[in-house]
Structure 1
Amino acid sequence: MAEALAGIRVLEVGQGAALAYAGKLFADFGAEVRKIAEEADPLASAWPRLEGRSALQAWLNTNKHLVEGDVAALAASCHVLLDARPTAREALPPHLVHTRISWFGAEGPYAGFAATDVTCRALAGVFACIGPVEGPPSMLGGIAGQVMGGIAAYIASTSALWGGGGREMEASIHEANIAIAEYQAAQAVTNPEVEQRRGVNRFAPTSPLGVYRCREGWLGVTIVTPAQWRAFCEMVGLDELARDPAFAVWPERLAHAERLEKLFAERLVARTAEEWFAEALERRLPFAVVPEMDTLLATPTHRARDAFQRVKLGALEFEGPTLPQRLTRTSPRAHGIAPLEPMAPPPAPAVAGDKAKAALPLEGLRVLDLSMGWAGPVCTRTLGDLGAEIIKVEAIQYPDWWRGVDPRQSFFDQKLYEKDVRFAFQNRNKRGITLDLSRPEGAALLKRLVAQCDAVVENYARDVLPKLGLDYAVLRHSRPDLVMLSMPAFGATGPWRDARAYGSTLEHASGLPTVSGPADGPPLTNQLAYGDPVGGMNAAAALLTALLHRKSTGEGQHIDLAQVECMFPLAAPWIIAQSALGDPGPRRGNRHPDQVPHGAFPCENEGWVAIAVTDNGAWARLCSLLDRADLAGLDLAARRAREGELEALLSTWTRSRNADAAMDALQAKGVAAGVLRWPTELRQDTHLRARGFWQEVDRPFLGRHELPSAPIRLAGGPPLKIFRAAPTLGEENSAVLSELLGLSAAELAALEQDGIIGTDAVPVTARKPRSSPQAKPQPASA
């Protein structure tokens, strides 16, 4: 099979999993990646270790060349420099895409902070809403935050390559992870109940949402709509509860969660998780078996899709996640060799070229956005931020459901579907049109639009576009080199291809909950809808990879992005440990296999600060702050033996300070620490304010409001500009359809009269029955 990035050379310099994962994306798609050997790379000792070597580091470095040499000299023969050094002083050739990767960006109050994956994500608002009501908040370890940062760096780099090279880009790991907390940051403006810690496996704005014990195994349950609640109650034999109107909507279910959970939990233990999941598939319910790592690795659906990469480390072999971007013509390598020792770089000619001339790297790219909800719109929003023209297609009969799903007439009379800030967050920098794709006239117009676009993104249920006659096999006739991305929850093939899922379902199915939380508790859901922003960022990376392949070969292709597989890299340390060692290790709660002390510590005014002691030097500096020189000589093993005592000592110190003061004092000593920000607190965060991260825009129906920036920027510059607020329904019907398709005013008026296009959502009670058995467009995942 051809490799998407063959012919591209990348130089990787610096430390950290974000850098390594960005390089892995390039290497496993066929680029030649030269990694400059680092003598003191902390990844070299990262858990899990196999015969003295880090298996995690080996997985992150698959298919790279380990080299030694001068950065500037090596960069002359490369197209991309992935750079995670604190500073870079050498002069670099003008053709180079130079992408800087850092925890908090090059500038701002946090720029010099000591950081770990957990302390960075704490400051990004990821953890505050998770865990017991009384605390501590639950903080998943591993490399999840750095995976998100690595994807952002890869998107920055590939977008610059698409735009002709010759750019300096910057990716912030911190800002990449704010996408995880965006929902609460947006929704809490009008619904503050979403920004509360409600207990293990409980999240507003819906209930139930969590993991429940079965006779064998655990079942991940997410219920959103009244119909889903009724079907779930009927499935477990609680018919009377299903008919009770008091629990039809989530606020009442959440208010009585403990009583309701007890009722259905008693029923769930009567059958296995596999049996419940099989019935949920038939009932189209968004449930999943929550697998232990050994079960995940053995799952036939995943094995059939080569979801796990075979990694060779010398004579040793184990498995880790394959890159999830499933390009049907140019899939990533399902095998990898990790470099052992530096060697002379293979000869390569110098690359010529100049600085890119366009203001933004994706200027000239046009993408047709058929997605709705969260995951798909994050993908297209990211491309739009980088300069692509995004044309979002909705229908007046079925708008994007993040505009709201209230069926009452007053909702439509007051145009409340134009007033949801969540829609505004996800759909900035897009043009908006409406087309009824279930009508022949609407489908025909879409095909004509496809001929004018480079790519299509969709996240409908698998059977919707084929029924509408608008799947890839059809649309490629409109544009033979079309790149089209689909986002089914579990992939377009296999027995789960029609499964419904929310972002929480994807996390449940990834096995991540079974390695999260304390050992004496149930598997822990780590986020309201983790899979959505993770899937969206991976989708943008996939689309750019396919577009680069098309740029060099002229070939388009279809991308089958199984969103559940996008979650596997977040679970990589435990997947690798299971494969390499036969055991994923104990569930540690907020503790860490290599860092002691490590956790969330209480502060004044119910605040919390995350602290991670990364090595003996950091421990000695912490002891200086605590005025405990008698403890400064404890090494990792000794600290582990006294972990509870040291945590109590640290908690006593933090309780007498507010969280920001504690963080600042720790950072002054070079100890990694971060306040556990609530998502709405991100709006006042001094670092984000200093970096201009929140941008104010004006929009009809919403007025002036603030939106978060992309985690990518042109190095040394301000955030990528939000130049267009989210579109109102059908806002650019006339402009787009006349500009691209040449429709006259009379033709547009006729289409509006016939309901093919429009600017007013059709009330539920006024929607006409469809004349064909075609299902209304619904996303496979949020």
Structure 2
Amino acid sequence: MPRDPQAVLPLRHLRVVERGGGVALAYAGKLFSDFGAQVIKLEPPGGDPLRREPPLVETGTGTDSALFAWLNTNKRSVTRLDGIAECDVLLDGRPPADRAAASPPATVTAGISWFGDSGPYRDYAASDVTCRALAGIIAGTGPVEGPPSMLGGIAGAVVGGIAAFNAVAAALLPGAPRRLEVSIHEANVAVAEYQAAQGITHPEVERRHGVNRFAPTCPLGVYPCREGWLGVTIVTPAQFRGFCDMIGAPEVGQDPRFVIGFDRLRHVAELEALFVPRLRERTAGEWFDEALRRRLPFAVVPDMARLLATPTHRARDAFGTVRIGAAGIEGPTLPQRLTRTPPLAGGTAPRLGEHDGLALPDRPARKPARVSALPLAGLRVIDLSMGWAGPLCTRQLADLGAEVVKVEACQYPDWWRGVDPRPAFFAERQYEKDLRFGVLNRNKAGITLDLSRPEGAALLKRLVREADAVVENYAREVLPKLGLDYPALAAERPDLVMVSMPAFGGSGPWRDARAYGSTLEHASGLPSVSGQADWPPTTNQLAYGDPIGGLNAAAAVLTALLHRRETGEGQHIDLAQVECMFPLVAPWILAQSATGSPGPRRGNRHASMVPQGCFPCTGEGWIAISVADDAAWAGLCRAIGRADLDADPALATAGGRRAREAELDAAIAAWTAGRDADAAMAALQAAGVAAGAVRWPTGLVRDPQLVARGFWQPVERAWLGQHDQPSAPFREAGQGPFPVRRPAPLLGEDNAAVLGGLLGLPARELAALAAAGIIGTEAVPVSQRKSRAAGQ
């Protein structure tokens, strides 16, 4: 719904200086400015280079970039910092070696760079695609034979910007001075964590299975219908049976060859030969309506025009008008829908130097600071979430020092402990052996409560009285039925901050839609602008929406807590996870609005970085290369020994190179084909060319940059043994990563510590709860759940 103009802006008390360049820096600043902070953007005399990024719009006095405008809504532009005596936050996007120049003193300083302030990659040139290649994101996408398919745009930088915002927002809560550094590279490793964890035991995850095919499940992709394209994701056996029933093939759903996703993927050609013709019998919209009724995780895959016109998104103000000079275009609004203090829906971006010499508003008085080893020490969060998105949100809060209590039920443990219904899975406690769960739930305590029982619900309410925040991603109707929705929990703790994470938001006709991270990518329209022009709309990642939703949820919680610190007010957050994907699609949304077209699908090529591509190396390796400007082109020619190309005046500009891009791709491929990917990367980087070896996720533990920075922390846990945990992508400047303080909990491991210690339940009461099945430490087999419930 439209924003109430009387609603306060939660970060209005903050002053932020933004210095340097890049999308990650600008997006971190946007999160502050659109929530009301005074963000002062220091630009060089010629303006931020992003002002020249296409598409360009006429402003009345010249041209400016629509992308720049969207990234810089509600900020002030200055070309000198005189008159700014102090600030709350300095966001510094300059290269680490260039940060010596004086800046105004700040309570919290964050250096934001591609690879952090240390390590062998510290001074590497990078582009969005080379960074994501090194982070393990693109290796598994594209044709079996390659090359890997590289999503263009700003996806990696947006992830880095959210990580920077989260680190700074957390540091502002205690208010004591901190100097932070943020690695965009490390932030993007979160997107590849699923494959990194599961690939250790399931090598099929680390293979390219073809366009719109991903292990460990099938089908997962985009398929043609009579009209439009349908995004399909099937994971559980029950979903596969429901899908087969829907397309009129119930016997296939009962075939024992197709019970689990890996088995279906091995028979993908046979299955697609069956269901692809049947999907063509109806429109994508008709199939989606049917999927809503059957609660299957499907989505219509829109193009940009259809995305902008979608009534569900329009009703939620998912897009707002961005103005710069006389120009107005539409772009995504921030997805953090704080119900009491929502962000601005759009706004005006500044002209270069527009605010030079203008007096700034006074800063409100500062709250007393609290010194702590970790920023969120003393904060307690109740985690009612499962899977990837919600647990990643709470993991980020836990990494920053919050006490996170994860609540599961013995009858329904977190589904990332496994969804195998077979008895041996439970008898052998396989649910304690899934590394994916271990990676997402470190630094948390774990308890069990059967919330469907009055005793369990009452204990959760008691926990909430002692908590600051609750994170949940149940289906919309679950918590109200249990008497545990936001109004009920806020009655226990009036200043509670609570985030709910439905796929399409808590209101509207799609509020009950089921979704996985891939469903969210499909519904965002991102596949429609990805891949080669002759491909179907192309899924870019196994479950892009999950990590993106989790990081955005953490940003929402922290914003609400900063508002509570100033006012004492809590609130509910309605986070539509699909809207969290829209900033990744922003370049094409803005182009659609500005020009009437998102532009051509370029595959691995780029509109202004020419050439750009993914090239073969020895040993089945690949390397991503982006030539950012004419100087980098000269460097590339030197590195590959092609002085003739450097001397050709027709190739001196990006436009000239674009006309002969196929020829240039062949020349680069001829050079890379005889070299190891890391050796080729080193040679190109020495010449100033952005290049990144394409890492498989499990290979990230050997990446020299991550190893040098201590990114992987060894942890010991029962049933899993020793394993490596990825660190948070932010740290205190000049120090190692924030520590992994404890491994993920075993099921119900902390029942006594939390229910007995925090709530003070005596041992006899804990024993009675265990005897009644309200708490416990062993998962109840699927075959026993209904009969167990019937006997209670």
Question: After TM superposition, is the score higher than 0.5?
Answer: yes
Q: 1:580-607 CA deviation, whole Å, 9 max, x = no partner? A: 1100000000000001110101111111
Contact 1:369 1:390 in 2 (8 A): yes
Q: Aligned-pair distance for 1:95?
A: 5.5
Q: Is the contact between residue 141 and residue 149 of structure 2 (CA under 8 Å) also seen in structure 1?
A: yes
TM-score by length of 1: 0.97
Find the aligned partners of 1:535 and 1:111 in 2 and give their Cα distance. 28
Which stretch shifts more, 427-436 or 352-361? 352-361
The aligned residue for residue 36 of structure 2 is 30
**1:249 Cα deviation (Å)?**
2.2
Q: CA RMSD in A?
A: 1.7
Please tell me the residue identity of whatever aligns with 1:433: I
Residue aligning to 2:509:
495
What is the 5 A alignment of 1:646-661? Answer: 646-661=664-679
Distance across 1 between alignment mates of 2:438 and 2:788: 30
SS in 1 for 2:18: strand
- Pairing of 1:704-719 with structure 2 (within 5 A): 704-719=722-737
Identify the match of residue 515 of structure 1 among 511, 517, 529: 529
Deviations along 1:491-549, one digit per CA (max 9) or x if unpaired, are 00000000000000000000000000000110000000000000000000000000001
Contact map agreement 2:47 2:352 (CA 8 A) in 1: no
The 3-state SS of whatever aligns with 1:572 is: helix
Aligned counterparts, 1:610-625, within 5 A: 610-625=624-639
Partner of 1:55: 66
2:56 maps to a residue whose letter is: R
Any conservation in 2 of the 1:396–1:436 contact (CA below 8 Å)? yes
Separation in 2 of the partners of 1:156 and 1:486?
21
- Does the CA contact (< 8 Å) of 1:95 and 1:165 recur in 2? no
> CA–CA distance in 1 between the matches of 2:675 and 2:368?
53
Listed one character per residue, the Cα deviations across residues 30-78 of structure 1 (whole Å, up to 9, x for unaligned) are 111000013363312112222332100110000000013238x63x331
Match of 1:759 in 2: 777
Q: Aligned match of 1:571 in 585, 599, 612?
A: 585
* Structure 1 CA distance for aligned equivalents of residues 467 and 316 of structure 2: 29
Change (3 A) 1:725 1:572: same
Distance 1:257 1:149 in 2: 35
Amino acid of the structure 1 residue aligned with 2:162 = I
Q: Counterpart of 2:556?
A: 542
Match of 1:41 among 34, 44, 48: 48
Report the equivalent of 1:469. Answer: 483
Question: Is 2:90–2:106's contact at 8 Å kept on the other side of the alignment?
Answer: no
Instruction: Measure the CA separation in 2 of the matches of 1:95 and 1:603.
Output: 46
Which residue number corresponds to residue 755 of structure 2? 737
Q: Classify the secondary structure of the residue corresponding to 1:58.
A: helix
- Residues 79 and 165 of structure 1 are in contact (CA less than 8 Å); yes or no, is this contact kept in structure 2? no
User: Once the two structures are superposed, what CA deviation does each residue of 1:129-164 show, in whole Å capped at 9, x if it has no partner?
Assistant: 000000110000100000000000000110000121
Q: What's the offset of the Cα at 1:413?
A: 1.8
Amino acid at match of 2:281: A
CA distance in 1, matches of 2:526, 2:741: 37
Report SS of the residue matched to 1:53.
strand
Deviations 1:279-320 (A, max 9, x none): 010010000000000000000000000000210111110100
Q: Which residue of 2 aligns with 1:79?
A: 88
Corresponding letter in the other structure for 1:80: V
| Alignment correspondent of 1:250 | 261
Q: Deviations over 1:215-235 (max 9, x none)?
A: 110000001111111111121
Distance 1:349 1:183 in 2: 46
Counterpart in 2 of 1:598?
A: 612
Tell me if 1:140 matches 2:151.
Answer: yes
Deviations 1:617-641 (A, max 9, x none): 1101111222323322421111011
In terms of mean alpha carbon deviation, does 496-505 or 157-166 score higher?
Answer: 157-166
**Residue 202 of structure 1 pairs with residue 209 of structure 2:** no
2:777 and 2:266 mapped to 1: Cα distance? 37
User: Does residue 674 of the first structure (1) align with residue 692 of the second (2)?
Assistant: yes
Distance 2:788 2:313 in 1: 37
Once the two structures are superposed, what CA deviation does each residue of 1:230-258 show, in whole Å capped at 9, x if it has no partner?
Answer: 11112112233223222232223111112
Of 4, 14, 21, which residue of structure 1 is paired with 2:20? Answer: 14
Name 1:608's counterpart in structure 2. 622
Query: Could you tell me whether the CA contact under 8 Å between 1:94 and 1:353 is conserved in 2?
Result: no
3-state secondary structure, aligned to 1:153: helix
Q: CA deviation at 1:409?
A: 2.1
Q: Secondary structure at the match of 1:637?
A: helix
Cα contact 1:598–1:610 (8 A) shared by 2 = yes
Shift of 1:700: 1.1
1:780 is matched with which residue? none
For structure 1, the residue ranges without an aligned partner over 5 or more in a row are 775-782
Do the aligned residues in 1 keep the contact of 2:125 with 2:690 (CA within 8 Å)? yes
> What corresponds to 1:346 in structure 2?
359
More displaced stretch, 308-317 vs 737-746 = 737-746
Deviation at 1:348, TM superposition (A): 4.8
Q: Distance in 1 between matches of 2:587 and 2:28?
A: 17
Secondary structure of the residue aligned to 1:723 is: coil
Q: Alpha-carbon deviations, 1:316-341, whole Å to 9, x = none?
A: 10100000001011111112101013
Shift of 1:659: 0.5
Structure 1 segments of 4+ aligned residues over 6 angstroms from their partners: 91-94, 350-355
Question: Displacement, 1:771?
Answer: 6.4
Measured in 1, the distance between the counterparts of 2:321 and 2:37 equals 19
Report the counterpart of residue 4 of structure 2 in structure 1. Answer: none
Bigger mean CA offset, 573-582 vs 746-755: 746-755
Distance 1:421 1:90, change over 3 A: same
Please tell me whether the aligned partners of residues 46 and 57 of structure 1 are also in contact (alpha carbons under 8 angstroms): yes
1:295-374 alignment, distance < 5 Å: 295-342=306-353, 343=355, 344-348=357-361, 357-374=371-388
CA distance in 1, matches of 2:235, 2:155: 26
Which of 521, 527, 532 is the aligned partner of 2:546? 532
Structure 2 CA distance for aligned equivalents of residues 771 and 410 of structure 1: 21
- Decide whether aligned partners of structure 1 residues 353 and 455 sit closer, same or farther in structure 2, where only a CA change above 3 A counts: closer
| SS of residue matched to 2:619 | helix
Q: How many pairs were matched up?
A: 772
Instruction: Give the secondary-structure state (helix, strand or coil) at the position aligned to 2:378.
Output: coil
Q: Report if aligned partners of 2:17, 2:90 keep a CA contact under 8 Å in 1.
A: yes
3-state SS of paired residue (1:96): strand
Shift in Å at residue 405 of structure 1? 1.7
Say whether the 8 Å CA contact 2:87–2:104 is kept in structure 1.
no
- Residue 202 of structure 2 corresponds to residue 184 of structure 1: no
Structure 1 window deviating more from structure 2 (36-45 vs 756-765): it is 36-45
Unpaired runs of 5+ residues, structure 2, are 1-6
In structure 2, the partner of 1:777 is none
Instruction: Please report how far the alpha carbon of residue 354 of structure 1 lies from its aligned counterpart in structure 2 after TM superposition.
Output: 9.4
Higher mean C-alpha displacement, 57-66 vs 410-419: 410-419
2:250 aligns with 239
For residue 186 of structure 2, the aligned residue among 152, 172, 175 is: 175
Aligned to 1:553: 567
2:495 paired residue among 468, 474, 481: 481
Q: How does 1:378-527 map to 2 (within 5 A)?
A: 378-527=392-541
- Aligned-partner residue type, residue 755 of structure 1: G
TM-score (normalised: structure 2): 0.95
8 A Cα contact 1:128 1:676, kept in partner: yes
Q: Which moved more, 1:81-90 or 1:143-152?
A: 81-90
Q: Which residue of 2 aligns with 1:778?
A: none
Whether 1:159 aligns to 2:166 is no
Comparing 349-358 with 598-607, which one deviates more in the overlay? 349-358
Q: Offset of 1:741 from its aligned partner?
A: 1.2
Aligned to 1:696: 714
Matched, 1:720 2:738: yes
The residue number in structure 1 matching 2:277 is: 266
Q: Which secondary structure does the structure 2 equivalent of 1:465 belong to?
A: helix
Cα distance between partner residues in 2 of 1:524 and 1:349:
49
